Every structure is written in C-alpha cells, then in structure tokens.
Amino acid sequence: MVYDIVIIGAGAAGMTAALYARRNNKTVMIIEGEQFGGQIANSPKVENYPSIKEISGAELANNMFEQIVSHGVEFDFGEVISVNKEGEIFTVKTDSSSYEGKTVIIANGVKHKHTGVANEEQLVGKGVYYCALCDGPFYEGKEVALIGDANTALQYALLLSGYCKKVHVYTIMHKYFADKALVEALEKKENIEVTMGYILTDLIADNDGKLKTLKFKKFKEEYEGVESFSVDYPALFVAIGQVPDNKRFENLVEINKQGYIVADESCTTKTPGVFVAGDTRTKSVRQVATATCDGAIAATAACLYIDQLNK
C-alpha cells in the first residue's frame, strides 16, 4: 500500500500532523521508535498547554494517541533507517519494516543530552528533569540544582530563580559559553549560586525512588577546591544541550552544523514532498505548543502537495 503521508515520529508534532492529515481524508502511517508523545510524555505535569489547566505529560500523549487512532491513523513501532525517493514515491525503511508514501513528514524531535551517570534514567521525572519551563514551577520555594554553562542553562537558571528559593548552578569549566547579557543577568541574581569546575559523578535516590543526593568531583587537578563533595536537592535540571538525529535524512534535506533540518515556518524542505515539523527543525522556541503548530502546518502543506499530484 502507498500511503498519502508517512510520518516519522509520534511526538506532539507528528501526532498533530497525523490528525490534520486524516481530517483532510488522507491515509497516514505514523512510525515511532521509542514512545508516543516524545519528550512531553516524561513530564509529570503540563500546565502550559492551552485549554488544559493541568495534565501529566503521559496523559496528554495518551489523549493525542487515542485521538489519532480514532480518526483512522495507522501506526507502527520501529527505528527509521533510511528514506529514499524513486519517481514520486518515498520508501521509508525501518529496522523491521518498509513503508511507501506520496509524502513524508519528519517529526522525530530531538533528545536532551543526558549526563550518563548512574541512576539518571531511573530518576527522570522523579527529580531529574530536562525542561525548567515545564517542570520548574513544581519546586517553588525550594532549592534546586542545575547543570550547564551555555545559553539554555543560564536561561533556565534565571527562570528558576523567579520561584525557587535558591538555584545552585554547576559547570564543568571555569567559564560560561553563553551570551554576555545572560551572564550579567545571572550574576545579578542573589538567589543563584554558581560552582565552577566540577563534574557530576552520581545520583542517589531516597527510599521512595526520588532524587536525594548529587555527587560531584573536581574536573581538573589545577582547579581550586575540594576533590569531591555531595549535596542534597529535590531536583536537578540538566541543560547540557540537545541532540538531533537527522544524518539518515541528509540525502533529502539540508542539515545545519548543529544537526537540525533547515526549514522555516512553512515546514518545507529542499525536496518536494518532504516536510519537517517540531524540534527537529531550525527554530528558536521548542515547546509542545510550537510542535503542534508545526504539525498542523506540515500536514496541511503535505495535503496540498498530494492534491496537486492527483490532478
């Protein structure tokens, strides 16, 4: 079967694209390699999605999934290996299957860089977070920790300082890799304390399986300070960058130096019939609301492209 649209990724962008495509009476196959909902599925609470006062990320993702399935969207789990075009048809190969489509929407998102220390994966959503905007408000009035030294990290620290009692920032190097204005703003905040020259080595949970203790060690011998230390905080925000995974699509799209697919608000790429939506493309704001916006735009563009093909 040749689908009208094959969507790679079932996060907020991909599932919104699927919904809009089905509303336009197009056949849709959506492929997901990990979990439906993408990054938002790991958030314990979502309070910045229009019309919904409060919802867990998992519940929001489940609602989206149930909605697209009710509209007739087909789905499969699998890791996409390649996408190729022959004539007017695209072939999307996964690690276990192969699908053909008249168009393709790439909505595979990005992954937050993880520290790689012990227990990190088990503590995601239980004290370890990667989005201060999403999860920071739940620690109002408390002391929290943050790891990072670039723009996103400093923006997160400033955001957290607005409602947290104190924000402890830890950097590996003895310098920032951020804009001067952000550094100046950070240094003016009395409730932000910065500790430079240390690397996280371990995360320890309490009896309830929630984050309790962070362990650090000196990154370089020439740095001043103790060799290692431990601190207790209820939350750790990790802001050490994001990782797009788009090399497998480089035969069809333009990829910038950071690994993102080059596309503007039209969500179109250099290859006719290939569209992109969500965090995987070049953009300044990566939030669930902007992802759903991209999904709607990409699907509408794909539907118009198909209609032109069918004339």
Q: Give 245-295 pLDDT, tens digit per residue.
A: 999 999 999 999 989 999 999 999 999 999 999 999 999 888 899 999 999
Neighbours of 192 (CB within 10 A): 20
What is the pLDDT at residue 44?
63
- Strands 198-205, 89-94: pairing is unpaired
- Pair 106, 276: CB distance under 8 Å: yes
pLDDT digits (tens, 9 = 90+) for 27-74: 999 999 888 888 788 766 788 889 999 898 889 999 999 999 999 999
In eight-state DSSP terms, residue 84 is E
Give the Cα-Cα-Cα angle 145, 112, 218 (nearest 5 degrees): 45
Q: Which residue has the higher pLDDT, 45 or 102?
A: 102
Separation of alpha carbons 197 and 220, rounded Å: 7
Residue 39's identity, in one-letter code, is Q
- Strands 89-94, 98-106: pairing is antiparallel
Q: Is the pLDDT of residue 189 over 90?
A: yes
Question: Cβ neighbours of residue 140 under 8 Å, at least 6 residues apart?
Answer: 163, 164
What is the pLDDT at residue 140?
96
Integer CA distances (angstroms), 167 to 111, 164, 217, in order: 24, 7, 19
Q: Is the pLDDT of residue 302 over 70?
A: yes
Question: Cβ neighbours of residue 185 under 8 Å, at least 6 residues apart?
Answer: 154, 158
